[in-house]
Amino acid sequence: MKPNILLIYTGGTIGMVKDFETGALKPFNFDQLLERIPELHLLDCKINTYSFENPIDSSDMNPTHWKSITQVIQENYETYDGFVVLHGSDTMAYSSSALSFMLKNLSKPVIFTGSQLPIGDLRTDAKENLITAIQIAALQDKQNQPVIQEVGLYFEYKLYRGNRCTKISAEHFNAFTSPNLPHLAESGVHLKIENHLLLPKNKLPLEIVEELDTRVFVLKIFPGINPEILKNILEMPNLRGIVLETFGSGNAPTEPWFLDTLENAIKRGVKVVNVTQCWGGSVDMGKYETGTTLQKIGVVSGHDITTEAAITKLMVLLPQNLSNIEFQQAFETAVCGELTIE
């Protein structure tokens, strides 16, 4: 039996074609996918498509759309062996991170991909990304079980864990990287899978996380941050959680006004997670005095998690109304490979 793959088009550059008379971009008709990309006939799988009625520019992507994607996957979970989500690249790392937390006990591949150039462009990267993403989603072992059983992101010859990557370029085809975890697979002459990096296979039934709390904020620390503005942000009445992007290995100012403002917010129930604003590396709040001080007032370490994964994990955990200790334990526990604690 050939694997059944469902292609879910949400929007983005990959789903556009150029009108060669006007030069304008217009949405691609995915019902004609096999006609426009005959190479797909060479893949040893069956492909069906599902398109959002109104394609979404990835800049407009939000948690409501994440729920729509998970709903499509849930409704078709028993029918298909794998899923490929076509998505705009700008917010793809946020969406792939979110779905990794929203699709609990996932035992099938959900592979995000997109492109920097439209599918009809002469130099497009869309065809390779699409073809290989489908091929990865269709991979099965000798027991006819999916090789990949997690949310991944495929772009420019590499498959990354969906909650471990970030976009680093607006113009290069190699637009994504995974700073703290090697890629899971690489496409060359052969498709090489790094099996030792894959998540353990799961036999539990799929569960969907439907409730997300979006009353969160990403706050990047910088020299000269204004006390009044910081105070106004942290005292917003509906604020529930903060991802604090700090310096280096988790360091922040030690001035009393800064620490007092942060501590008061934590005492009011605001959950604060510390992630590094560096391109790679991990938070270690015990390394320097500045980080230790944050730890003492109740800031939670994000270890080596990305900002994209941190903010989406925060949205998932907040509705559970956990105590500070429970929240710390939950956030610092890797549920789908999103962080490493050394």
The total number of residues shown for the chain amounts to 342
Q: Residue 10 in contact with residue 96, Cβ under 8 Å? A: no
Dihedral sign (CA 182, 183, 189, 195): positive
Q: Residue 289 in contact with residue 253, Cβ under 8 Å? A: no
The three-class DSSP label of residue 33 is helix
Dihedral sign (CA 294, 300, 303, 309): negative
Q: Residue 16 in contact with residue 28, Cβ under 8 Å? A: yes
Could you tell me the end-to-end alpha-carbon distance of the chain, in angstroms, rounded to an integer?
43
The secondary element (H helix, E strand) that includes residue 9 is: strand 4-9
Structure token digits, residue 139: 């991979």
Dihedral sign (CA 213, 249, 247, 182): negative
Residue type, 337: G
Residue type, 77: Y
Q: Is 113 a catalytic residue?
A: no
Residue type, 109: P
Structure token digits, residue 241: 């959680």
Structure token digits, residue 247: 């310096």
176-211 b/e (C-beta count within 10 Å ≥ 16 → b): bbbebbebbbebeeeeebeeeebbeeeeeebeebee
Radius of gyration of the chain (CA): 21
Choice among 10, 13, 261, 293 that is catalytic: 13
- As annotated, the active-site residues are 13
